[in-house]
Chain A
Amino acid sequence: KNQVEQSPQSLIILEGKNCTLQCNYTVSPFSNLRWYKQDTGRGPVSLTIMTFSENTKSNGRYTATLDADTKQSSLHITASQLSDSASYICVVSDRGSTLGRLYFGRGTQLTVWP
């Protein structure tokens, strides 16, 4: 069964600190992995997208890594800001269908305190 598991479920950090969110997946055949940021009451916004051949990708203070062999990914946030408070969702796409079906994790709820 294709699944995406994220940890931790929730995380509280102080402003200015770094943090790392984890994602494990069993989706096969793998096509790509994305990280989305979803603010409360809003739709998800893409942060990064990585294919099988990419190990790391950055978007400002966000850096995602991918280990396709162990089927793990992480999202590292540097020098957190209050605006980083949101749910971070790991999404994996398979290559087994024309649609490129997306499998969503439940997200990590990040809260940044001043």
Chain B
Amino acid sequence: EADIYQTPRYLVIGTGKKITLECSQTMGHDKMYWYQQDPGMELHLIHYSYGVNSTEKGDLSSESTVSRIRTEHFPLTLESARPSHTSQYLCASSESKGQEKTYEQYFGPGTRLTVT
């Protein structure tokens, strides 16, 4: 069982509200990721971090922002939620092993966000 946690697990919120999705891991991993997943669709990388004070945008354009002030914590923020942000958000972490990059990515349980 991976030691990576996400809160809240479910969130229903009105349009225009600011929200922060929390993600924490206790494995000391340097790399962390945020993915967005719609039902029946593939995961899309929206943000990632190589370590403290490092954040990068992923493949899928997202209006969300992230921060990495501590190794174990990688929160995602939406300044003004819209119905188009309704989705499942998955956090993951990993460490690199050797030159083959066969690092294992451990996923949190996800946050199901609904914006009304």
**When the two chains form their complex, are residues B110 and A32 in contact, meaning their CB atoms are under 8 A apart?**
no
Q: Does A43 contact B (CB under 8 A)?
A: yes
A89 to B90, CA, bound (A): 15
Across the interface, which residues of A come within 8 angstroms of B112, CB to CB? 41
B: interface residue count bin: 20 to 34
- Least CB distance, B46 to chain A, in whole angstroms: 13
**When the two chains form their complex, are residues B101 and A31 in contact, meaning their CB atoms are under 8 A apart?**
yes
- Least CB distance, A22 to chain B, in whole angstroms: 16
Q: How many residues of A contact B (CB 8 A)?
A: 23
Binds A, one of B13-21, B36-44, B63-71, B75-83: B36-44
Specify the chain B residue showing the minimal Cβ separation from A42.
B109
A31 to B96, CA, bound (A): 13
- How many residue pairs between the two chains, A and B, have CB atoms under 8 Å in the bound complex? 56
Contacts A102-B45, A104-B43, A105-B42; A46 near B100 (Cβ below 8 A): no
* A-to-B contact residues, CB < 8 Å: 4, 31-32, 41-46, 49, 51, 89, 93, 95, 99-102, 104-107, 109
Q: Which 8 A-B pairs have the closest CB atoms?
A: A43-B107, A100-B101, A104-B42, A104-B43, A106-B42, A44-B107, A32-B102, A43-B108
* B-to-A contact residues, CB < 8 Å: 2, 4, 31, 40-45, 48, 50, 59, 90, 92, 96, 100-110, 112
